[in-house]
Structure 1
Amino acid sequence: MASPHKTHIPLPPDPGELMLGTRVINLLGIMLLSKMHQNSGDKTLENEACLSTVPIHVVTDASQLPAEFLQPSCERQLFIGFDCEGVDLCRDGSLCIMQLAFPDAIYLVDAIEGGETLVKACKPALESSYITKVIHDCKRDSEALYFQFGIKLHNVVDTQIAYSLIKEQEGHKRVPDDYISFVGLLADPRFGGISYDEKEEVRLLLRQDPNFWTYRPLSELMVRAAADDVRFLLFIYHKMVEKLNERSLWYLAVRGALYCRCFCIDDSNFADWPPLPPIPDNLIADKTAPEEEILSVLDVPRGKMGCVIGKRGANILSIKQSCSAEIFFGGDKGPPDKVFIIGPVKQVRKAEAMLRGRMLQMY
């Protein structure tokens, strides 16, 4: 049955580069795609992209999803755009929709109508190293999938991380909390030059009614907004990968894995998660080989997080300026009394020491 919903997906000049079956490319082999495009110029989406009209399928049963997605195989590597929508998306919130953008269709997996059975049918794909999930800021999506459905999101390309790495390659100094929004990323002429005004409209509706994504049937606005959050991701991925050197590609892989784990702390200490991508041999041989990157979780005495952060974030800002490490907090969505630190081992240990010193000053 034909879908009543359609949209346009911008694809790179050769969409086959993102299709599976002709090339074996994953986060550990992504350098190949970079080499293929190292001489390409920067063009706007309008000038370079091939716009393909594709259907948007609202999925309520696993049988409506592609077989190659439900049954991942090393013989058919897949690249998909991925995102989640929900109410207070986190461990205790409610996941309502998962969006999957393929080169030939978009699938809106309805977690409310299809329930746990449908979401868990996607578990092999979301955990597979054969399917690369391109996403913008994976932390809360991963947390929701892990605590609500037992899914360990794996093999992601996080475009927020990639953007930061591109800026570093270009010689920009690393700035604390310099995280680009998806709207900002789309507006960058190197990755689309598109104004995403409708996103602000949906954000306003969400502020007025946090249950926006729970209503059924899905309205035309809901379908369009959900599709818009993923339909550009494969094009952006293509544009970003061609700019990243091999060192940055490894950082992209390992930091994506660490971001997926960030808020998913439990008693297992990630023992049952897939191993982190190792440093490639050619980078180890380099005199300036990258240092191993880790995730560290610090406990903060109950009720003392405000003192650790400081007035208007002054304490944390000072630590971030002193350490080349990312520092995150669970915040209102939780976990409330933990600090998450991601970065090179020495920088993480330095941040830990400074945070512990701050905690000692409270007593």
Structure 2
Amino acid sequence: MIEDFELIDTVDHLAQVIAAFYTLYCAPPSLYLDLEGHDLCRDGRISLISVFAEPLKKTFLIDVQVLGELAFTTSSTTSENRTLQSLLQDASIPKVLFDCRNDTDALYNIYKVDMKGVIDLQLMELATRKGHKRFVNGLARTIRDYAELSPEDLEIWTNTKTSVKAKFFNNYDLEEGVEPLTESAFDQRPLPSELLRYSVQDVTLLPQLWRIFDAKLTPKWRKKVDEEVFWRVQLSRQAVYYGKNGKTATMGPW
């Protein structure tokens, strides 16, 4: 697993990183994203955006709690028109996530970021899965089933999950979307090293998952996935958001 990362909590640092993002290739996708926060959706708040830039072999942790709207409106060092918001809204730049629903709902309703170019690995896994497709899988199960981690890396990954859940989240199941009873551990500043590692380790595994699922997708199922991604993103425009409803959220669309 790749654990090299930078914490981005100043506008000068962010401006340099945004400029670097815009130099990366789009095919295959370069950018893999995950958001962390409390009650992640329109009713909660975003603390961090983890961006793994595969060509750079590095994860960039953008501190939204510290930067606020400047996380999205700060111009790059190379162009005043290039911001994190413009990058997220550019349909020509693919952004790979696992279950985009809560992330896109939070981005749209809190910061007016209208994400485009979304690739959803949860739907790709479902589309390429043999057998029943009634329920979608969570990220933890998908990583265990497909990421092909060595025994040593799997132990490190599992131990990080277990320790973070026990220390910061009262042992609630983070991967299945169950919220802790207390305020988000991600509100702490400076962020504990355990939470930094937690924020890095999953997103670095997304490229491997993308390669596995993309190789298996038939044209028919690729079209179905694209259509469902569109509707998932559209959930953020609805007056009431149902994406966090446990039973509804785990049902497959096909």
TM-score scaled by structure 1? 0.55
Partner of 1:55: 4
Name the CA shift for 1:343/1:240 in 2 (closer, same or farther; >3 Å).
closer
Any unmatched runs of 5+ in structure 2? Answer: 74-82, 170-179
Name the CA shift for 1:123/1:342 in 2 (closer, same or farther; >3 Å).
farther
Partner of 2:103: 141
Higher Cα radius of gyration: 1
Partner of 1:173: 132
After superposition, what is the alpha-carbon deviation per residue over 1:37-92, rounded to whole angstroms, capped at 9, x for unaligned?
Answer: xxxxxxxxxxxxxxxxx6301012222414143x589xx42521101000111102
Displacement of 1:210: 3.0
Q: Does 1:124 align with 2:81?
A: no
After superposition, what is the alpha-carbon deviation per residue over 1:91-110, rounded to whole angstroms, capped at 9, x for unaligned?
Answer: 02110000100112110000
Give, as a single letter, the amino acid of the residue that structure 2 aligns with 1:67: A
> 1:223 & 1:332 partners in 2: Cα distance?
28
> 1:158 & 1:257 partners in 2: Cα distance?
10
> 2:161 & 2:231 partners in 1: Cα distance?
28
> 1:173 & 1:164 partners in 2: Cα distance?
9
Name the CA shift for 1:203/1:152 in 2 (closer, same or farther; >3 Å).
farther
Q: Does 1:211 align with 2:199?
A: no
Partner of 1:185: 142
Alpha-carbon contact 1:183-1:199 (below 8 Å) kept: no
Alpha-carbon contact 1:199-1:225 (below 8 Å) kept: yes
CA RMSD in angstroms comes to 2.8
Summarize the alignment of residues 13-92 of structure 1 with structure 2, pairs less than 5 Å apart: 55-60=4-9, 61=11, 62-69=14-21, 71=22, 76-77=25-26, 78-92=29-43
After superposition, what is the alpha-carbon deviation per residue over 1:257-316, rounded to whole angstroms, capped at 9, x for unaligned?
Answer: 2212224315xxxxxxxxxxxxxxxxxxxxxxxxxxxxxxxx8xxxxxxxxxxxxxxxxx
Displacement of 1:164: 0.7
Match for residue 249 of structure 1 among 219, 222, 225: 222
Partner of 2:234: 261
TM-score scaled by structure 2? 0.76
Alpha-carbon contact 2:133-2:252 (below 8 Å) kept: no
Alpha-carbon contact 1:57-1:108 (below 8 Å) kept: yes
The structure whose residues are more often helix, as a share, is 2
Give, as a single letter, the amino acid of the residue that structure 1 aligns with 2:213: M
SS in structure 2 opposite 1:262?
A: helix
> 1:89 & 1:101 partners in 2: Cα distance?
20
> 1:254 & 1:173 partners in 2: Cα distance?
20
Displacement of 1:331: 5.6
SS in structure 1 opposite 2:69?
A: helix
Partner of 2:163: 201
Higher alpha-carbon deviation: 134-143 or 204-213: 204-213
Name the CA shift for 1:68/1:331 in 2 (closer, same or farther; >3 Å).
closer
Displacement of 1:239: 1.2
Partner of 1:283: none
Name the CA shift for 1:201/1:258 in 2 (closer, same or farther; >3 Å).
farther
SS in structure 2 opposite 1:85?
A: strand
Alpha-carbon contact 1:160-1:179 (below 8 Å) kept: yes
> 1:203 & 1:91 partners in 2: Cα distance?
24
Alpha-carbon contact 2:94-2:118 (below 8 Å) kept: yes
SS in structure 2 opposite 1:106?
A: strand
Alpha-carbon contact 1:72-1:130 (below 8 Å) kept: no
Give, as a single letter, the amino acid of the residue that structure 1 aligns with 2:50: Q
> 1:203 & 1:159 partners in 2: Cα distance?
23
Number of residue pairs matched? Answer: 219
Give, as a single letter, the amino acid of the residue that structure 2 aligns with 1:239: I
Give, as a single letter, the amino acid of the residue that structure 2 aligns with 1:55: D
> 1:332 & 1:136 partners in 2: Cα distance?
17
Partner of 1:40: none
SS in structure 1 opposite 2:36?
A: strand
> Which structure would you say has the larger RCO, counting Cα contacts within 8 Å and 6 or more residues apart?
2
Give, as a single letter, the amino acid of the residue that structure 1 aligns with 2:141: G
Alpha-carbon contact 2:109-2:236 (below 8 Å) kept: no
